[in-house]
Amino acid sequence: MEQSIRTQPPGPRRRPPGRGAAEAAVPGPSSPPDSRLRTASGTRAVPRPRLRLRLPVGRSRPRTGRPARLTAIGAGVAAVAGMLVVAGVDRLLFDGLGVLFGLGYLVVCFQLAVRVRSCDLPAAPISGPIAFAAALVLVQPVAAHGVTGQVVALASGLALRAGWLFTGTGLAAAIVAARFVAQRRFRRTR
């Protein structure tokens, strides 16, 4: 009659007679280090201390390596959010959209081009101008009401700020192109 591991007396495990030599050569399962079973000498097994690194609650591990990357949708959302913040601050401080709005657009385009994932590179130069136009529509005051007034205000706002728009979009496109070429060269050298 075979007993379970917990009810067998201390010492080496006994094998039932009549089993093959192949089965006898395979060792049985070992006891965990913190088991209460006694060893062959009759002393109690002492568990090994385990070192665990515990981080304070609410804090993650320190970041190392590359920064987090934006997806195509994340780049669009970040661009619109960034441009709305910049446009709101410019409107509050200077009562209109001026140089601060243009400089903010350059910063947003640069950040998009640098932080977008490699597989979503075309999203950076596309989402910047869309965010620029969305910020103009939502923050710029409109003299005439209705759809026609919105379209005319958007067209005039884009025409007046075309220098900033083309500069930011060109900056994003240049960074994306450089990243694409560097990525291709890196893959070839592998």
Q: Residue 102: name the closest of 89, 118, 113 by CA.
A: 89
Q: Is the dihedral of CA 138, 142, 145, 148 positive or negative?
A: negative
- Mean of pLDDT values over 112-123: 91
Q: What span, in angstroms and rounded, lies between the C-alpha atoms of 61 and 121? A: 28
Please name the amino acid found at residue 180: F
Rounded mean pLDDT of 115-119? 91
Dihedral sign for Cα atoms in the order 97, 103, 104, 110: positive
At 189 the three-state DSSP class reads helix
Res 62: pLDDT = 61
Q: What is the pLDDT of residue 18?
A: 61
In this prediction, residue 98 carries a pLDDT of 85
pLDDT at 143 (0 to 100):
73
Model-level pTM greater than 0.85?
A: no
pLDDT above 60 for 152:
yes
Q: What is the pLDDT of residue 150?
A: 85
CA distance 9 to 15: 13
Q: What is the pLDDT of residue 111?
A: 93
Mind listing the pLDDT tens digit for each residue in 26-55? Answer: 555 555 555 555 556 666 666 666 666 565
The pLDDT tens digits of the residues spanning 68-84 come to 788 999 999 999 999 99
- Predicted pLDDT of residue 88: 92
